[in-house]
Structure 1
Amino acid sequence: MQLSARAHIRVARPSRDLRAAERFWRNGLGLSVVWRHDATDEAGEPGEHALLMVGLPDADWHLELVHDAAAPVEPRPTEEDLLVIYLDGQVPEELVARLEEHGGKRVPSPNPYWNEWGVTVEDPDGYRLVLCVRGWSNSPES
């Protein structure tokens, strides 16, 4: 089996609070809930972990956020842990405002490239989303 350019990508991260994460990613950015698993089993007993998968319909990627109340993992993002979305156009201020209203925080990037070509917003767990004004082709310089 060979790796395909159409292989689905899942980015998985721990989250302190899946409700806060959902507000940011779904209500703020506009992603859809792809799948959700709560922390209880069929008998209503506490399960192993809860997770929330968000993405766009028909996209070849999704973001998975996981929380285990019995053994929580503290998110440890750095300033360089980025999820970059190439918009191929201006970043709407209404979108940035909506992200902030739903738990995000606009922050400067330590990398001047992202300050010039986009807007960086931290999610409730401290991970950074960059909304880039550039488009994407097979070359990151386009």
Structure 2
Amino acid sequence: MDAGLRLNALLAERADEVTLMADLLTVEDARRTAAALPGAEFNHGTPRVDPVTREHLDFGLDIATADGSLLKQELPLSVLHYVAPGAVEDRIVRAVGQGIASIGSSGRWPDDPNAVRAGTAPGRCTRTCWGS
């Protein structure tokens, strides 16, 4: 069990959702992550602007159906998504491939009789996963 999971297990109370963030470097990683997070909004990893209008350009391809060569031109991609705890964390760790992912959860640490204030401090645990 990794340190992030061990810390998360120590929380006395857990939030209703976890935060998933990932930077995706390959077409395959993007497709696996999109399959693991249906409905998630993907963005360019590096902001892009129209060279003439200077307006922000949104990522607009359907990752599942876009031609791989077109999708490759849009890389790297990033995603920020919120899910119920336990819903997809393991799939994200496997999907990220060559990229990096962060899984953040929050809650309340248990009461500690040696602490100045008992159990009131919010707790945050983050797992950071580097691709293979």
What is the TM-score when the length of structure 1 is the normalising length?
A: 0.28
Higher relative contact order (CA 8 A, sep 6+): 2
Structure with greater helix share of residues = 2
What is the TM-score when the length of structure 2 is the normalising length?
A: 0.29
Which protein is bigger by CA-based radius of gyration? 2
